């Protein structure tokens, strides 16, 4: 684990900063290893991680912590203007996994919006994201279903009981799932309770689940768990996504698809 850093004289703030430094360097921290490294108890480390998580500096997971996803507390209207070139590239590859004749549910998200623009003709699409619906309405070759309800400003989608009841009646062949955070060991996460509940229901009803994520979401966490990573049949990643970030995903059988290299944003 490296040099022991902690002695009784080390202040909690110093220890917490050292934990953050290691989290930045390694991409995750394990409480038991930190306790050994700092020569302190796991209870002390867990308290440190709780305090760091409360400040929005990490996401606690079983046994340790992950970096918090960059999607944290960012409204949908802001996300839609970020990294557009990368998301267009991801969306094009994601849309290429959709086959004519399928019933596809498109979850909310900016990458899924990019995918909606590239869908083949001859598919039925359901969504609870008004912008995705607006992109597809009137398009020849697309049979569109829009779920209603109160639109949540964080996700940009209709959530709550009305939308959830409609989702209960659907059995799509394919779900294009929006993922705020993804880690091979700790699963997929999101930042809203209602959003997590909707995603779980959509997953339960879908024949297959695929997602696309930008590299900065790989190996990160979020407060609400959507499900384990093995719910995914396929994952679309950026052209330059590092191999080490994908090894755990490939090991559990997730098919990895690399998008074309994006133009600079």
What are the structural domains, with CATH classification, of the chain? 12-66 (1.10.10.10), 76-258 (3.40.50.1360)
Q: What's residue 78's pLDDT?
A: 53
The average pLDDT across 204-230 equals 94
- Ranges assigned E (strand) in 107-220: 123-127, 142-146, 150-151, 158-159, 174-177, 181-183, 187-190, 208-212
H or E segment to which residue 240 belongs: none
CB atoms within 10 A of CB 141: 11
Q: Is the pTM of this model over 0.85?
A: no
- Taking 80 as the threshold, does the pLDDT of residue 252 lie above it? yes
Break the chain down into helix, strand, coil percent, rounded to 5: 40, 20, 40
The average pLDDT across 151-168 equals 92
62-78 pLDDT, tens digit each: 888 888 887 765 655 55
8-17, 46-55, 86-95, 224-233: which range is least confident on average? 8-17
CA 18/CA 236 separation, integer angstroms = 34
Using DSSP, state whether 34 is helix, strand or coil: helix
- Taking 70 as the threshold, does the pLDDT of residue 83 lie above it? no
Query: 147 φ, ψ to 5°?
Result: -80, 140
CA distances from 232 to 167, 175, 184, 229, 244 (A): 19, 10, 11, 6, 18
Cα angle 160-166-172, degrees, rounded to a multiple of 5: 120
């Amino acid at each position: 684990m490296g040099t022991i850093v902690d002695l009784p004289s080390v202040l909690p703030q110093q220890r917490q900063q050292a934990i953050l430094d290691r989290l930045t360097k390694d991409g995750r921290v394990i409480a038991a290893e930190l306790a050994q490294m700092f020569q302190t108890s796991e209870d002390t480390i867990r308290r440190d991680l709780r305090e760091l998580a409360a400040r929005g500096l990490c996401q606690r997971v079983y046994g340790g912590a992950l970096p918090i996803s960059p999607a944290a507390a960012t409204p949908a209207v802001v996300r839609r203007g970020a990294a557009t070139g990368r998301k267009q590239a991801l969306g094009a590859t994601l849309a290429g996994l959709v086959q004519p004749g399928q019933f596809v549910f498109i979850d909310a998200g900016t990458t899924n919006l990019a995918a909606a623009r590239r869908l083949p003709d001859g598919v039925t699409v359901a969504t609870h994201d008004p912008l995705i619906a607006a992109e597809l309405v009137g398009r020849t070759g697309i049979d569109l279903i829009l779920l209603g309800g109160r639109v949540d400003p964080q996700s940009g989608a209709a959530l709550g009981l009305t939308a959830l009841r409609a989702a209960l009646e659907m059995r799509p062949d394919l779900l294009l799932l929006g993922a705020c955070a993804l880690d091979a060991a700790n699963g997929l996460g999101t930042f809203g309770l209602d959003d997590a509940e909707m995603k779980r229901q959509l997953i339960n009803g879908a024949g297959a689940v695929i997602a696309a994520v930008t590299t900065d979401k790989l190996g990160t966490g979020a407060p609400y768990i959507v499900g384990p990573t093995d719910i995914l049949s396929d994952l679309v990643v950026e052209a330059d996504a590092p191999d080490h970030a994908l090894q755990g995903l490939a090991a559990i059988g997730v098919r990895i698809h690399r998008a074309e290299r994006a133009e600079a944003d």
